[in-house]
A = this chain, B = another copy of it.
């Protein structure tokens, strides 16, 4: 990856997507405090870390956060240095294409020639410098070529929970010079594959994980929306007209959103476009999709137990113990392997590590129970 530093050709923006529900970190994550708002690792929440990471190449006034009504207050409180109009709550969830169009409106209203990065709020990227280096190059490639740049993650396991991108030819553009290194054309997007297919993808070395990180100019995005999801383009055009006026923008969104197509940006645009380019991430990345994934980022003891708790045990190994109570009380394990124990002030979760993804099923069960839905 080149680290060529050239003066930006256009104004740069970042749109951080922070609408996720994060059910999989129950009982710590709740509807109002989803994963991205939690300080699970370190002193800063995932959202704060996501915003911190872009600040070396995007000014704070150009960083937007798309969230929802329930979380907007906490998002503002966590990001006091962002202009309040930069934090926008969707009236309702309408999948990622609508959220991207909303973000594009915020960008386009400020700079029709701007270039924007769309970034998730709840991923872990320990090496922020490496990320910034890739993001800078991605901005440069997007603004030079009008391509849709996606930052692809090199698979480390045959994961079946991610979309994959098949790499095509190296990018060759005389205008890019050495910048082109580390960029390839995307041959195609693949939905979450079955396990055997994922094994093949991993072995081939020709696939990258789709981590939901995109960089494009406002103009290129608008052209793409017009070509592939025209109604969304029309909505984006209307929204752009009022997006610098918070009140008018909110009213228009409230009116338009119910009718907006519920479709992901991957389906709507990335799978259909022919100008997608993949930047090789080259940095460690984790979407920390469950409690068991969190353990990868904690320091284990000699028995492989990771504890953010007052922990004592007999013959127990490979466990994750997390106490989020205001006043911690000891958590004791006897003869257990690969179990997750999480304690909050109002609930206790005990889960088998390899079943941790089913915590979301548990949350649905709670939501359906009149007596327990207050815990969701």
Q: Which of B27, B329, B334, B349 touches A355 (beta carbons < 8 Å)? A: B334
Q: Is the Cβ of A336 less than 8 Å from the Cβ of B351? A: yes
Residues of B near A329 (CB, < 8 A) are 345-348
Q: Is the Cβ of A365 less than 8 Å from the Cβ of B314? A: yes
- Secondary structure call for the A interface: mixed
Residues of B near A331 (CB, < 8 A) are 347-348, 350
What is the count of identical protomers in the complex?
2
Kindly report which residue of chain B lies nearest to residue A319, judged by CB atoms.
B350
Apart from the given pairs A314-B355, A330-B347, A332-B349, 13 other A-B contacts in the complex at a CB distance below 8 Å: A26-B332, A314-B358, A334-B350, A334-B355, A334-B359, A334-B362, A335-B355, A335-B356, A336-B350, A339-B350, A341-B350, A348-B348, A350-B350
Residues of B near A313 (CB, < 8 A) are 362
Residues of B near A372 (CB, < 8 A) are 312, 330
Residues of B near A346 (CB, < 8 A) are 329-330
- Bound-state CA distance A280–B26 (Å) is 53
Q: Is the Cβ of A358 less than 8 Å from the Cβ of B335? A: yes
Residues of B near A348 (CB, < 8 A) are 329-332, 341, 343, 348
The CB with the most chain B CB atoms within 10 A, among A333, A334, A346, is that of A334
Give the Cβ gap from A336 to chain B, nearest Cβ, in Å: 5
The count of chain A contact residues (Cβ–Cβ below 8 Å) is 37
Residues of B near A336 (CB, < 8 A) are 339, 350-352, 355
Q: Which of B332, B356, B359 touches A362 (beta carbons < 8 Å)? A: B332
Interface string of A131-142 (1 = CB under 8 A from B): 000000000000
- Are A335 and B347 also in contact (CB < 8 A) when A314-B361, A362-B312 are? no
